[in-house]
């Protein structure tokens, strides 16, 4: 599976897109440009595979759910060509880059752990005492229950994070449900003193930008996890 390529991906479109980021010196500036480029795209679950059906490596530049939006932008920001994008996306989405349904990062605490281990992102030192959550994850049909333990910044302390957050940071929202870790994710953008989030929203049927405060007010959550993309040398 090392050389698996995603179905129906236009390499020419990828090349054209990443060529526009070559003058952007930082990961944050590349993620800013790329995440803005996809605003207005449709919401759709594009991943193919299940416990009973073969996994198909997919990639889209036109339709996203919240996870594939983050994955696609992150992979593009780390690439200078279509081949690098394909390789990066595969490694971001699948444990050890192996295209198999069981190795897909179904739960986002696993996604964070595996991508931190791979060096694509790093956890932020927040200076805020986190809360510890223990869950038995069992909402994905066909996977055995997974016991997990993770730390997150409680919702009441999220605003204290403000000064530490930068454009391009990835934010993950911890669920209040006993059998789920993360219920949504997005990309943060700093606009002067305001923080906005770009994300693929099911309720809004597309990729949108909204004030982070508005999202926090509208949703129940146990807390947040924020990670920062690492700098990938550009060729």
Cβ–Cβ < 8 Å for 103, 109: no
Cα separation, 206 vs 225, whole angstroms: 23
In a domain, 172, yes or no: yes
User: Does residue 128 share a domain with residue 114?
Assistant: no
What is the predicted pLDDT for the residue at 231?
A: 85
4 located within any domain: no
Lowest mean pLDDT across 34-38, 108-112, 158-162, 195-199: 158-162
> In this model, does residue 33 exceed pLDDT 80?
yes
**What does the DSSP 8-state code read for residue 165?**
-
Average pLDDT across the chain, whole number: 93
Is residue 64 located within the same domain as residue 162? no
Q: Do 72 and 91 fall into the same domain?
A: yes
Q: Is 147 helix (H, G, I), strand (E, B) or coil?
A: strand
CA distances from 122 to 19, 65, 195 (A): 26, 23, 20
The angle that helices 27-37 and 66-77 make with each other, rounded to 10 degrees, is 130
Do the domain assignments include residue 2?
A: no
Q: pLDDT band at residue 101, thresholds of 50, 70 and 90?
A: very high
Q: Are residues 104 and 150 in the same domain?
A: no
- The C-alpha torsion from 176 through 182 and 26 to 13, rounded to 10°, is -140
Tell whether 15 and 113 lie within a shared domain.
Answer: yes
Q: Are residues 132 and 221 in the same domain?
A: yes
Q: What is the dihedral of CA 163, 169, 173, 179, to 10 degrees?
A: -140
Q: Is the pLDDT of residue 164 over 50?
A: yes
Alpha helices in 20-59 (DSSP H): 27-37
Q: Which residue has the higher pLDDT, 74 or 164?
A: 74
The whole-number pLDDT of residue 235 equals 47
Confidence of residue 4 (pLDDT cuts 50, 70, 90): low
What does the pLDDT average to over 119-147? 94
Look at residue 1 and tell me whether its pLDDT is greater than 70.
Answer: no
Listing DSSP states for 108-130 in one string gives HHHHHHHHHHHTSEEE---SSPP
- Its pTM stands at 0.95
Integer CA distances (angstroms), 227 to 137, 166, 213, in order: 21, 10, 19
- Confidence class of residue 45 from pLDDT cuts 50, 70 and 90? very high
Per-residue pLDDT band for 6 (boundaries 50, 70, 90) equals confident
Residue % of the chain over a pLDDT of 70: 97
Lowest mean pLDDT among 4-13, 56-65, 98-107, 200-209: 4-13
Of 14, 7, 167, which Cα lies nearest the Cα of 76?
Answer: 14
Report the share of the chain in percent with pLDDT over 90: 86
Q: Is the pLDDT of residue 196 over 80?
A: yes
Mean pLDDT across the stretch 210-234? 91
Return the CATH number at 189.
Answer: 2.30.260.10
Q: Looking at the structure, do residues 196 and 139 belong to the same domain, yes or no?
A: yes
Are residues 79 and 139 located together in one domain of the fold? no
How many structural domains does the chain have? 2
Domain extent at residue 132: 121-229
126 and 89 both lie in a single domain: no
- Check the CA dihedral 89-92-98-104 and report its sign: negative
Which pLDDT value is given to residue 232?
66
82 and 128 share one domain: no
- Residues 224 and 125 placed together within one structural domain of the fold: yes
Residue 88 reports pLDDT greater than 70: yes
Q: Which is it for the CA torsion 138, 142, 148, 151, positive or negative?
A: negative
Rg (CA), the chain: 17
77 and 128 co-located in one domain: no
């Amino acid at each position: 599976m090392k050389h698996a390529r995603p179905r129906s991906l236009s390499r020419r479109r990828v090349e054209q897109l990443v060529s526009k980021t070559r003058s952007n010196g930082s990961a944050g500036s590349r993620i800013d440009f790329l995440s803005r480029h996809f605003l207005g795209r449709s919401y759709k679950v594009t991943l193919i595979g299940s416990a009973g059906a073969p996994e198909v490596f997919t990639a889209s530049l036109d339709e996203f759910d919240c996870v594939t939006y983050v994955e696609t932008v992150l992979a593009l920001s780390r690439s200078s060509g279509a081949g690098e994008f394909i390789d990066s996306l595969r490694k971001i989405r699948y444990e050890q880059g192996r295209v198999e349904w069981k190795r897909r990062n179904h739960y986002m605490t696993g996604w964070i752990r595996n991508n931190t281990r791979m060096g694509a992102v790093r956890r932020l030192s927040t200076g805020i005492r986190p809360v510890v959550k223990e869950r038995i994850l069992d909402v994905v049909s066909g996977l055995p229950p997974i016991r997990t333990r993770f730390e997150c910044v409680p919702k009441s302390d999220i605003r204290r994070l403000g000064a530490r957050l930068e454009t391009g940071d990835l934010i993950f929202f911890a669920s209040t449900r006993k059998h789920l870790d993360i219920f949504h994710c997005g990309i943060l953008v700093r606009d002067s003193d305001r923080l906005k989030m770009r994300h693929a929203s099911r309720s809004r049927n597309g990729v949108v930008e909204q004030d982070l405060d508005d999202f926090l007010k509208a949703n129940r959550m146990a807390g947040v996890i924020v990670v920062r993309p690492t700098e990938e040398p550009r060729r």
